[in-house]
């Protein structure tokens, strides 16, 4: 998969337990790093929310990731599985929809899901509409 020019790949992981020696935490990191290695990524950014629930999208590392997406620094987001973003399907869907408006490709390794970014014109239009810009 080709990395978008000038944009980095974000690897995001979350565990609800504060125990960083948990098997899920270690497994997520290993799988994400293996993915980065297999894709030949020289650079990527890791975002980690440890001890944070997936019941909300308001988490420190996820908020930092969202800021980087809005700043145009992220072109691809890789997660271990969809529940790492949100436990609630509606919240997950909202996040995916929002990220796609910024042109971000999202890959969930274990769920086998892949979302392609919309074309640049549509992403610009969606962002404008979200900010209250262009009106139909």
Q: Can you give the pTM of this predicted structure?
A: 0.76
The number of distinct structural domains making up the chain is 1
* 85 inside domain: yes
pLDDT above 70: percentage of residues in the chain: 71
User: Domain span at residue 101?
Assistant: 8-130
136 found inside a domain? no
Map tokens 């629930």 to a residue: 53
pLDDT surpasses 90 at 98: yes
Burial 47-83 (b: 16+ CB within 10 A, else e): bbbbebebeebebebbeebbebbeeeebbbbbbbebb
Give me the CATH number covering residue 57. 3.40.50.1390
Residue 135 covered by a domain? no
Residue 71 lies in a domain: yes
Confidence of residue 32 (pLDDT cuts 50, 70, 90): very high
Does residue 62 lie in a domain region?
yes
Predicted pLDDT at 56: 92
pLDDT of residue 18: 67
Query: What number of CA atoms fall less than 13 Å from residue 39's CA on the CB side?
Result: 21
User: Residue 2's pLDDT is what?
Assistant: 45
Mean pLDDT of the chain: 80
């Amino acid at each position: 998969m080709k990395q978008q020019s000038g944009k980095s790949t974000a690897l995001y992981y979350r565990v609800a337990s504060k125990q960083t020696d948990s098997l899920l935490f270690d497994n997520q990191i290993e799988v994400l790093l293996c993915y980065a290695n297999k894709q030949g990524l020289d650079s990527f950014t890791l975002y980690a929310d440890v001890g944070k629930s997936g019941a909300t999208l308001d988490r420190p590392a996820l908020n930092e990731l969202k800021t980087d997406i809005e700043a145009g620094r992220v072109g691809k987001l890789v997660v271990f599985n969809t529940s790492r973003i949100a436990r609630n399907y509606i919240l997950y869907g909202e996040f995916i929809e929002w990220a796609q408006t910024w042109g971000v490709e999202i890959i969930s390794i274990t769920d086998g899901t892949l979302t392609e970014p919309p074309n640049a014109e549509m992403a610009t239009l969606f962002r404008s509409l979200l900010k209250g810009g262009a009106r139909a």
